[in-house]
Amino acid sequence: MALQIIEYPHPTLRHKSKPLKRIDAELVKMIDEMFELMHEHDGIGLAANQVDLPYRLFVLNLSGRDRDPEQRMVFINPVITKRKGTHEGEEGCLSIPGVWEKVRRAEEVTVTAYNLQGQEVTYEAKGLFAKAVQHELDHLDGVLFIDRLTETGKLSVKESLREFEEKFIRMYENGELPDELAMMKRIADLEKLRT
Ligand code: CO
């Protein structure tokens, strides 16, 4: 089945993902689909949770709308080893489309991960790169940018979030989403396969 971006408050967005133990052809294909989906939605980053996959993996392409294939980056089992400074900047998320708010994060981070070739890579990220790495890595721990807002920020997104919650319940009631037990079983099966 083709991957799709899931929206808040889908439970997989709250799933803390386990590290990947193997990369197989099917996973490589799914990562390719993640880039396609991200570009379709004009995003710069997409985490595995956002396509309903329970893996510690995210993709970035900081060229955004330019969709420069040279700038595709895959982060497998990423870890932030160093944080420096603070910076407050506007963020949005493909799983909460249309909602934008200011988030305070580290200004610079050092991140180590594996790439698709299984090589360990380390980046010292600044600016947009640092912001994207922190936002996407949060996803892997089940954390969303709306969790990191100031009290004022939380208040200003409250109504939009309520609309997402109501839409989700409607979809669930209309049978457009699998039941909770089926969702949990699917996640457990995917974890068993690769983590
Ligand atoms: Co996001």
Model confidence pLDDT, tens digit, residues 155-184: 999 999 999 999 999 999 999 988 889 999
Query: What DSSP state is assigned to residue 44?
Result: S
Q: How far is the CA of 50 from the centre of ligand 1 (A)?
A: 7
Q: State the CB neighbour count (10 A cutoff) for residue 19.
A: 15
Q: What is the pLDDT of residue 1?
A: 65
Per-position DSSP letters for 71-104, written without gaps between them: GEEEEEEEEEEEEEEEEEEEE--TTSTT--EEEE
- Residues 78-114 have pLDDT tens digits of 999 999 999 999 999 999 999 999 999 999 999 999 9
The percentage of residues in the chain with a pLDDT greater than 70, rounded to a whole number, is 99
Rounded to an integer, the average pLDDT of 2-28 is 95
Query: What are the catalytic residues?
Result: 136
CA of 13 from ligand 1 middle (Å) equals: 9
Average per-residue pLDDT in the chain? Answer: 96
Residues of the chain with pLDDT > 90: what percent? Answer: 93
Q: How much is the pLDDT for 64?
A: 86
CA 173–ligand 1 middle distance (angstroms): 26
